Structure 1
Amino acid sequence: MSLTTSLSPEALSAFHAETERAYAALREAGLSLDITRGKPAPEQLDLSAELLSLPGADYRAADGTDTRNYGGLLGLPELRAIFADLLGLPAEQLLAADNASLALMHDTLSFALLHGTPESPEPWRDQGDIAFLCPSPGYDRHFALAEHLGFRLIPVDLGDDGPDMDQVREHVADQAVKGIWIVPTYANPTGAVVSEAVAAELAAMETAAPDFRIYWDNAYAVHHLSDERVKSADIVGPCAASGHPNRPLVFASTSKITFAGAGVSFLGGSPENLAWYTGHAGFRAIGPDKVNQLRHARYFKDADGVLALMERHREILAPKFAIVERVLTDRLGPHDVATWTRPKGGYFVSLDVVDGTAAHVVALAKEIGLALTPAGSSFPYKSDPRDRNIRIAPSFPSQADLEQAMQALATCVLLAAAEKALAA
């Protein structure tokens, strides 16, 4: 991508001057805009306001459990059944926990470090170098968690159908490689969807580490942006069929379905993995917030209730993603300075600008009052080798603010591209 191939030197200078004037006008406008994180908008949170009046005076679950009291590490059966249906798992292989699936990821990794997994010859902390594969661009919180716990991060390329399996197979021949992060449906930030074929390869591949884990974070399983409801690939069944029943740990939550700060998280996997988790988690807590689980079960009623709610989310989100697509197409498309994803679901758009300019684009945006996720955040150690990727999070701003933010971002991308072309 380069302006130098499409404009004469004179035209390039004129284009740069025009873009500088547009940028100066933005600086004078006193913007205060933020598209850094994929938070639900207030209007989306309002959709679940009924939760605040539930469960009402009756705190007993379907099996008679008094949800106000201790116990129940697996969570309420009626809520587990609803999300087992949505995630394609047997209900007995899914537990419901507190509000954050990231906490479940933290705990399972910490338990493996301290105690090992059912297949571990010894705790991970006693095995020397420990590494995790990081399909990139990917979810920054996954990478930050693994780095925080002392794991070595190994980037692998992420395509439209999942991680590059040639690279994955090469790395898992090293026994230090203990796992891989996967967002199977509408990946953060690209919107990639892992295919059944790639899932089958992940399930069946030979790994040097007997305790290799697939961290299958199905955070956006029901977060569709069109009439097409993309179905998540199964990973638990193929792993069991391939003789690796304990390989996958499946995560999900209601964080972007109901209340982001007061939802329910889920952990799915083999019976042995759930017994391993609860055997350690029981020392940390006597049970999850079952009152919150009961209010969610009564609010949703069934899996169709979840899907109906997500249709109302789509009515709010889809027009925002349409704004992103329109502005990028109109402003950047004619100049061959960027490519971007067109996701069918999820919360993000991944924008690739001219190589070597992403950090400069973010700095230019900050100067005019537009906050962007730091360049490189979607890569291990926050280091994008080509300095080109920027994650766009359209969900939280109003449509009017998002329009302003995208117009400003487009100007910054064009100015950075023009400056680089002039310096060439």
Structure 2
Amino acid sequence: MHIKEVNPHFDDFLFDWEQKFQFLVGGYGSSKSYHVALKLILKLLSEKRTALVVREVYDTHRDSTFSLLEEIINELELDHKIRCMSSPMQIRFPNGSKIIFKGMDKPQKLKSIHNVSLIWLEECSEIKYEGFKELLGRLRHPSLRLHMILSTNPVGEDNWTFLHFFKDDRNKRLVLDDQDLYAKRTVIVKETFYHHSTADDNLFLPASYIEQLEEMKEYDPDLHRIAREGRFGVNGKRVLPQFEEWSHEAVMNAVKSIRKPIERVGMDFGFEDSYNAVVRMAVDHKNKYLYIYWQYYKNKMTDDRTAVELDEFKQSRELIIADSAEPKTIKYFKQLGFRMKGAKKFGGSRLANTKKIKRFKKIICSSNCPDVIRELKYLTYKEDKNGNIIPDDFKIDPHTFSAIWYGLDGYEVSDLKGGAVSVLK
């Protein structure tokens, strides 16, 4: 076998099989996929195993994983021993090991797979979370240790790969702070080996390639973060770049220090797929700061059960400004003794409300409001087919954002040009 030179940053990864999961994230040209493919070949040469290589779409294997594995086999001068079969795609080793290729776009074909002890999920962020869990069930062997390798370029922090392997604020789950990985480059947490890489780790890249990656900083900062730095973050243009998360104590101290705070409560209605979302807010009108310090967020709740859980508002007689598209629900709450009214809606109100909230210099949210943080911290605009943002449409349906709109009905933030301001208390 021809000796193959590898990038030093991948030395430990190539021969480390202690953990069940190995998660590789990195920028463009970091050589992570190359070293995963080499690792697979070396393992299957030393042990008789069946390895499964998975991408979201089966047909993408031919020009990516299959051709990469075939290229490495040729470089190692093992093509006379290891057979690369193109129809159907399969790689067979002299000791009986084999690599098979599947796509999650043809899930029925996964059912015929048996005794798979090693799975590689290439571009795992493109695979659905349900698909990942399905593959976990296919990873089984009566005697061999089981391993799953996941490789990807970083995507948004709302992707399942980040939520599962790093942080899930909504479920208050922290496995590893991604900033720790960027600093240490390799980290082991329980059954997972984490590996971070950038183009700088690939000693075989031409300098011109890295220069191209650097140029992205000028015209596409988001892509630069992904491609050059290999870091998770926000994919797309953020709706509320001024959004900040503070401790609950810090938020409440700030609210108490406001000379004449404007206190508001907003509510969005939902049931099956959407949510009943209620937020308490305080506006510092002088500084143009919005504080969010209390939330209620539940779905599949009938109005009578919701009324019980929101009884404190009936007792305090706080005014709730709610979605006027649900007059029957508003009337029901009023009959129970709640102070509730509908927010004004008009053609273009969605865009007008979005622009209004964007005019706050700061939007500061209490750590006690996890669903507000989850929906708004990384809220991004949808884009049309030409890549232009749609200013009144978002990549998710942010129920807490709607609740804020309704709660601030009648209040106007002065714009930066010093326009007229009306404040209805």
- State whether TM-score is above 0.5: no
So what's the TM-score if we normalise by structure 2?
A: 0.26
Which protein is richer in helix relative to its size? 1
Which protein is richer in strand relative to its size? 2
Report the structure number with the largest CA radius of gyration.
2
